[in-house]
Amino acid sequence: MRQLAEHKKVVQRWRELEERVADLVELVSLTEEDEAMQAEIQSEVEAVTAWLDELEFQLAFRSEYDNRNAILAVHAGAGGTESQDWAEMLMRMYLRWAERHGYQAEVLDSSPGEEAGVKSVVIGISGDYACGYLKSEHGVHRLVRLSPFDADHARHTSFALVEVMPEAKDDVDIKIAPDDLKIETFRSSGPGGQHMQKTSSAVRLTHLSTGLVVTCQSERSQYRNKEIALRILQSRLLERELAEQAEEKARVKGKHVAAGWGNQIRSYVLHPYRMVKDHRTGYQTGDTDAVLDGALDDFITAYLRSLMGKEK
């Protein structure tokens, strides 16, 4: 029923476009000699063309998981405060991107840095094709800038790993046996007031079969932290399963490059010049401030169009 509802929604969009095109054709035939209507017709043609481009672009979303909500995790690389600050900048960038698109974004868990930034953060992003769009962000992101934490203002290079996972459906995609789950509670080490630091509200889940460990300490309630940790664990297990399937397909087809450390997908250079460049597509821009404020659509579009080209 869920798949049927999704397919009906897609068909409805195309039917609405069909009706709008028919109305436009009729308008043109009725006002062909009316110069005063030409500007309105041109505006409608541009709107219909943009709508068609968007619907055609969504053909890039061929995975059954592209229409899922996304679980996005950012991990600071080596480099201490520099990389932790960079991880927080990326967190803000994705939160602003979600806000621009009207998506609902929630910080599910975060581990603060010693001096600034975050060591890691997990964000839940809900909306149509959230996972399909954000899969373009999976990989290592590199920052080059003059350090605000260095007294000599030397140039530093920082790295952060971004993971994007489809949100798992409870008991549909991944089933976790109770005997395969180790649950531990401990006191929160981060900020949050005396209640969080004096009670064992933080939760650590260990999936015994795979060794995957997920912790959550962002909420005051132990129950809520357990709920969020389980949600993240299910998504990690689903991502692991999908990665194994992709590796098997890549093994048959040929070379496979993992989106891990050492395989940076994008560089953000703030000094000695300003540029953001995606190394997979070659797309780049000099408007670094806009990108860091969430203007990622051009990068996402270039990546997804490159995938469509490869599939052809």
CATH of the domain at 205: 3.30.160.20
Same domain, 159 and 185: no
Question: Locate tokens 């974004």: which residue?
Answer: 105
pLDDT given for residue 261 in this prediction: 61
pLDDT given for residue 257 in this prediction: 47
CA 286 – CA 275 distance, rounded (Å)? 4
Does any domain span residue 65? no
Same domain, 164 and 236: no
Phi, psi of 188 (to 5 degrees): -65, 140
What does the pLDDT profile of the chain (312 residues) look like in tens digits? 777 887 888 899 899 999 999 998 988 888 777 777 888 888 889 999 988 887 877 777 878 889 899 999 999 998 789 999 999 999 999 999 999 999 999 999 999 998 899 999 999 999 988 999 999 999 999 999 998 888 777 899 999 999 999 998 865 678 888 899 999 998 876 554 444 445 678 999 999 999 999 999 888 889 899 999 999 999 999 999 888 887 776 665 555 445 556 679 999 999 999 999 999 999 999 999 999 999 999 999 999 988 876 655
Same domain, 100 and 231: no
Does any domain span residue 207? yes
Same domain, 104 and 192: no
Phi, psi of 152 (to 5 degrees): -90, 0
Same domain, 240 and 108: no
Query: pTM of the prediction?
Result: 0.80
Does any domain span residue 205? yes
- 282-306 per-residue burial string, b: 16 or more CB within 10 A, e: under 16: ebbeeebeebbebbbebbbbbbbeb
164 bridge partner residues: 72
Same domain, 101 and 243: no
DSSP per position, 110-164: EEE-SSSSEEEEEEEEESTTHHHHHGGG-EEEEEEEE-TT-TT--EEEEEEEEEE
Does any domain span residue 230? yes
CATH of the domain at 153: 3.30.70.1660
User: Which residue, of 221, 252, 283, is where some domain finishes?
Assistant: 252
Q: What's the Rg (C-alpha) of the chain?
A: 23
Same domain, 276 and 128: yes
Does any domain span residue 305? yes
Burial of 270 (0-12, 13-18, 19+ CB in 10 A): middle
Residue 153, amino acid: H
Does any domain span residue 49? yes
Q: Which domain holds residue 207?
A: 178-252
Cα 35 to the center of its chain, rounded Å: 46
Same domain, 153 and 15: no
Does any domain span residue 6? yes
pLDDT given for residue 13 in this prediction: 87
Total count of domains within the chain: 3
Strands 264-269 and 139-146, how do they pair? parallel
